[in-house]
Amino acid sequence: MVLSVLVGTASAGDFYVGIDGGVAWQSFIYNNSMAGQQISNSQLVVSATSPSGQLGINAGYDFTKNWGVELGYQYFFNTGTVTGATISSNNDNSTFNLNGQLIDLLAVGRLPIEDSNFAVYAKLGLALAYAQFGQYCTTTCSTGTSLPSGTGVAIAGGLGLEYMITKQWDVHVEAMNYGALLPISLSSNGQNVGSWSATSLLVGGAWHFN
């Protein structure tokens, strides 16, 4: 699950900028079609998820109190070391960490809660993401350009709750997912070895130029 916290506005014709930060759960799914007989080895883990820090900036514009668009950049820090499927030809279990970054363009639908400063909202759009292994280990550890990595377009979506502190400031809590429906493919030496996705929980704030 991706939870991300951003900031928006409840007034029409409002431009805003903000920052957000929190935790992301980055996931790696091993490509079973490339595993061959390794899949029958019960000691192999063919998917893994691990938490990491996330930091982002965003800018948006609300055309009305109910509809807007948002452009953002998100950086996913290295996960802690996790155990996953090996991409080597032997049966050694592997350990690795993941990191990524993306630019997303989202449509925002907002429903203000009557007689309050709260609003619930949903986001849906696309993210251009780059993901990579920070380190990969089987019998030895590897770093550098030979590590699995990939760039692609992922579907991004989520739900959130915002609160207008003042006319200019608001805060959000938001759940976002990147890649559940269209994950980022990872390859190593020209061979597809798996895919990346992430779910985040973030808290943030924004300044509104209204």
* DSSP one-letter string for 192-208: EEEEEEEEEEEEEEEEE
Distance separating alpha carbons of residues 210 and 93, to the nearest angstrom: 55
Amino acid at 6: L
Percent of the chain with pLDDT over 70: 76
Bridge partners of residue 10, in order along the sequence? none
Residue of 130, 145, 134, 147 lying closest to 196 (CA atoms): 130
CA atoms of 11 and 128, how far apart (whole Å): 29
Domains in the chain, CATH or no CATH each: 14-208 (2.40.160.20)
pLDDT in tens, 132-190: 987 767 666 666 556 789 999 999 999 999 999 999 999 999 999 999 988 999 887 77
Chain position carrying tokens 């280990």: 137
Q: For residue 107, name the pLDDT band (cuts at 50, 70, 90).
A: very high
What's residue 73's pLDDT? 98
Average pLDDT of the chain?
A: 82
Residue bearing tokens 């996960």: 79
Question: What is the DSSP-derived secondary structure letter of residue 113?
Answer: P
Give the angle 201-112-198 at the CA atoms, nearest 5°.
20
Instruction: Specify the DSSP class assigned to residue 40.
Output: G
Burial class (CB in 10 A: 0-12, 13-18, 19+), 165: exposed
Tokens 């950086």 label which residue? 75
Range name among 7-21, 90-104, 183-197 with the lowest pLDDT average: 7-21
**pLDDT of 7 strictly over 50:** no
Helix ranges (H only) for the chain are none
Q: What are phi and psi of 175, to 5 degrees?
A: -110, 120
Q: How many CB atoms lie within 10 A of CB 191?
A: 11
Enter the DSSP assignment of 145.
T
Max Cα–Cα distance, the chain, nearest Å: 63
